[in-house]
Structure 1
């Protein structure tokens, strides 16, 4: 067999890939594709043994090359003028595919200088369509290859494109290589070796399948969110985080990302977590508005929720104020209650115990960690055994214990919240688990940004310092005693009821009165008051409208609040969206003021912003629980989220997935975050076990 040169054969090959007498080109091929395959793959492979034209190796390769060309080009019989029928075309396609499969096997075997004997394919043998095959847009719709039927079933690649499976593999941060091996092992376990043979998918194809599955799932999430448009009242949450750059090769550099989330009645949706130049109010506003426009929900936004740094709350360049101006209407600002309540213990701890500029809590807390193993865990004293504490708590102990034990019966999203309640019960001389001995958890490294760690450390150190198990100076012990007393007596209840937005005005006013009336230590009262007086966001003339839906306010007080709705607003209106104490040095002016004092004509804007029916205001507050309009409004108010934990979950998602190599493309990263956030939401609202049924 003489081998023509590539240039001599190119014109002949350029005639195409024709069916006999029909002029129909084989779909999915182009001149550049088959020329490259012939010249670079088939022909060059044959030339490797051209200098040895005797022997079995060359002759076998030459025969294999000829068979490969026949199968590859699938040229019909010469002289045929009558176009074949559809059944003949289908049979020809089946036979051609079988030939290609057999030739590929022969080529693989020839690497070992062995060629399998040619076998004729059985008539009507089933084939599996190539998953990467895509017909040309202009191909004939009657072509059997462009429209396969039951006689040409799909190869079982549905496993590698199942969105739920891909989502769980992404959740475990499984690389494409590891995910590919895992799925192969599962297929082998469920379907055996035959299943593995059918599941012909390389790790590169598997990687592409994962990217495609994320894209499809993210598109469905966006479509579902937009389809629910209309009548929703949404709250926008955001929070910034510094993370390594997503781009490859720049992992030592960092960038700031801004997770943006909207919540509402049965709505908890991450919109995006893109990078911004900095955390300034202007950059935050641009990103938040961009997200709202992309998701087509800017008209449904009625409230904003964020932490309370100046970049968010400034009345000129703060993000909240700028977003309100950009939307062109008033919105309700519900400051994150966790963030504003953390200010008190943080300030007290820094002023009275130690102030640390490092990420951890400081030297005192590190010393407890270092000597924890040598401490006798049974040698501690509760507040009941401390005369000074017992004297202060004797009239309050029963009510605090009752509240703490009731709170322990409720579910908690964080383990340290539950442990704090258990420590309070132990501190008050009781056992949170009566059937078990009292047990202390080992102190762990806690970031200085987490206030919960401060209270946990203070209570633990105090109880072991009373017995001498933990050496402590007398003045430091006295400061810890005062801190723990105000935490337990004044601060515990506001924190664990902070998620209920309707009681926020009453809770903040009561907390202010408790701080002012704290007579155990004037120093503690002054420090806590100065920290809290600049964060009275829920006593503002608009936000105080939440109190109309507070079940803990008496009917008489609500009647007075309704009367005050006709009162003129204060002469000096603060540009801040919070209540500003008239005399900044006199926090005591809030003492014994009723909640109705903060209600005025301005409060009517609250009902307008949330689109609430105000007809119930004409009835007596005693009848409100039976009023249909009031109950509908109550349903809307209770759906408001006044804590920014959803944004913190978005921050955690970004930190978790930005460090791995699942994707380095920005679009793919956003799809990954959307799918994982949706998966977390489903797991949160589902108590049933999740089953994976991909093999039925």
Structure 2
């Protein structure tokens, strides 16, 4: 049994019993005598368990020996059946990301999923991998258990680490909350259950709908009025974005529908796919359903109030949301994008808007911002540097400020009239240079020369490599879901198994001859 064979059996979810049949048939197909080989369930199980442990220990040792400059830690929680019984337990995927990639640390079981247990489990995972002194940022979903100012898991973990940490509330999760607010405001449906009535009717009527009777952006006066000023800009953005690789098919489908609504033809043609699963938690599916119903609204019997709501939501998606969603992972562009998005959201009623103050400094690497503004940002950062060098004792005082800026609705206009993002900078902003080990020497130079400066280019690459969404932790959740009931009920073996699967998937990302010809280094 080789490491690669064992890992392949694990990845393909082949049980020890089935492996006996496969290996026996394989040996026979090679004109060899199976009786000359030890092929039985017990031997295979013992061998696979031993190999999993060896791979994991070497993998951990190799990662620690890399001595990375910093890591960003991601986590998420999921209720799953326990290994020894069907009682639900919380599982916590803990993953770190670096400029060179990401690494699963483990998916420990936590008894009740409390904030204290979450922070302790993340801390223990970091300690096991010798990464406590490398952590510079947290990425987490914006739930109360994570974000509580006094007892949130992020706050408790920061206290355990005993130093200032930058928070990256998952930008995808924040975006999901925004689109959910748009649905609530439009009042498309009133339902506390998982099923959305109008979407269910659309799904059930699909076979009777004439998919050629498509109505685009200028077939509704309200929609046309909203979209007309920015139509060409959105079309250009979507046609460029659709050529890129996307982690999920529904991302691409959303862009295709926007292109069709705007009267253009996507690369795959004017095709509207059959509606898939949809319930309250599937926010992307809800967006896709709304756009499809808008396009085919004359084919579905809907009330006038429903049509008006569909138009409002679809216009919001096309005008405001599509561009924001597909740029949330761009680190250096994030602060300016947020400011622009707040300007557009200011047209809609909302109780409160939030900005990550520590992240405002990333805008200095955003080359869409004028040289004059970036020069002002550099000058302000240099002043903070000078203050700290002259009075080091001030550092703790500067670090005690808030991590985020909360804006009430009545304060938004005043905020937007300020010089942004310059006014958002603080000492915490300056600290990113030390935090991520990047040079700040170019701040003394004219921004027009930065693109030719090696230190600036290196710093920009580092900042743009940061993962500020929690998709990696969600993949960890999916990994645990897929293998929760496979092969073993032993907790240690389960953790070894997850490491092996992740390594195998990294090594063989595609099922091509070229990729599969690579050795499985353990």
Q: Provide the TM-score with structure 1 as the length reference.
A: 0.69
1:666 maps onto 2:491 in alignment: yes
Do the aligned residues in 1 keep the contact of 2:70 with 2:98 (CA within 8 Å)? yes
**From 375, 396, 399, the counterpart of 1:559:** 375
The secondary structure found in structure 2 opposite 1:242 is strand
- Whole-Å Cα distance in 1 between the matches of residues 353 and 227 of structure 2? 29
1:457 maps onto 2:269 in alignment: no
1:278 maps onto 2:116 in alignment: no
- Shift, 1:685, TM fit: 8.4
* 1:124 equivalent in structure 2: none
* 2:183 equivalent in structure 1: 349
**From 225, 228, 236, the counterpart of 2:73:** 236
1:208 maps onto 2:38 in alignment: no
* 1:677 equivalent in structure 2: 502
- Whole-Å Cα distance in 1 between the matches of residues 435 and 288 of structure 2? 40
- Whole-Å Cα distance in 1 between the matches of residues 368 and 12 of structure 2? 45
Classify 1:272/1:602 alpha carbon distance in 2 versus 1 (closer, same or farther; 3 Å): closer
Classify 1:279/1:553 alpha carbon distance in 2 versus 1 (closer, same or farther; 3 Å): farther
Do the aligned residues in 2 keep the contact of 1:272 with 1:291 (CA within 8 Å)? yes
The secondary structure found in structure 2 opposite 1:396 is helix
Classify 1:692/1:179 alpha carbon distance in 2 versus 1 (closer, same or farther; 3 Å): farther
1:536 maps onto 2:370 in alignment: no
Do the aligned residues in 2 keep the contact of 1:574 with 1:580 (CA within 8 Å)? no
- Cα deviation 1:282-332 (Å, max 9, x = unaligned): 111100110011011111111111111121111211122222221122121
- Shift, 1:667, TM fit: 0.4
* 1:597 equivalent in structure 2: 423
- Shift, 1:573, TM fit: 9.8
The secondary structure found in structure 2 opposite 1:179 is helix
* 2:55 equivalent in structure 1: 217
The secondary structure found in structure 1 opposite 2:89 is strand
Identify the range of structure 1 (630-639 vs 592-601) with the bigger mean alpha-carbon deviation: 592-601
1:477 maps onto 2:286 in alignment: no
Which consecutive unaligned segments of at least 5 residues does structure 2 have? 388-393
* 1:182 equivalent in structure 2: 22
- Shift, 1:444, TM fit: 1.2
Runs of 4+ that moved beyond 4 A: 571-576
1:163 maps onto 2:3 in alignment: yes
- Whole-Å Cα distance in 2 between the matches of residues 643 and 415 of structure 1? 18
* 2:31 equivalent in structure 1: 192
* 1:433 equivalent in structure 2: 267
- Cα deviation 1:525-574 (Å, max 9, x = unaligned): 11xx33xx44322xx1x2211111112211111012123333799x9999
Within 5 Å, give how 1:101-120 maps onto structure 2.
none
Classify 1:580/1:671 alpha carbon distance in 2 versus 1 (closer, same or farther; 3 Å): same
Aligned CA-pair RMSD: 2.3
The secondary structure found in structure 1 opposite 2:229 is coil
- Whole-Å Cα distance in 2 between the matches of residues 657 and 573 of structure 1? 43
* 1:379 equivalent in structure 2: 213
- Whole-Å Cα distance in 1 between the matches of residues 37 and 398 of structure 2? 74
Do the aligned residues in 1 keep the contact of 2:379 with 2:443 (CA within 8 Å)? no
The secondary structure found in structure 2 opposite 1:212 is helix
- Whole-Å Cα distance in 2 between the matches of residues 677 and 228 of structure 1? 18
1:550 maps onto 2:366 in alignment: yes
Do the aligned residues in 2 keep the contact of 1:262 with 1:270 (CA within 8 Å)? yes
Classify 1:693/1:508 alpha carbon distance in 2 versus 1 (closer, same or farther; 3 Å): closer
Aligned length: 506
* 2:127 equivalent in structure 1: 293
Do the aligned residues in 2 keep the contact of 1:243 with 1:257 (CA within 8 Å)? yes
Q: Please tell me whether Structure 1 or Structure 2 has the larger radius of gyration of its CA atoms.
A: 1
Which consecutive unaligned segments of at least 5 residues does structure 1 have? 1-160, 519-524
**From 654, 660, 678, the counterpart of 2:480:** 654
- Whole-Å Cα distance in 2 between the matches of residues 693 and 627 of structure 1? 39
- Whole-Å Cα distance in 2 between the matches of residues 447 and 232 of structure 1? 42
- Whole-Å Cα distance in 2 between the matches of residues 356 and 574 of structure 1? 44
Do the aligned residues in 2 keep the contact of 1:361 with 1:454 (CA within 8 Å)? no
- Shift, 1:692, TM fit: 8.6
Classify 1:300/1:355 alpha carbon distance in 2 versus 1 (closer, same or farther; 3 Å): farther
The secondary structure found in structure 2 opposite 1:271 is strand
- Whole-Å Cα distance in 1 between the matches of residues 234 and 226 of structure 2? 13
Classify 1:192/1:377 alpha carbon distance in 2 versus 1 (closer, same or farther; 3 Å): same
- Shift, 1:450, TM fit: 2.8
- Shift, 1:193, TM fit: 3.8
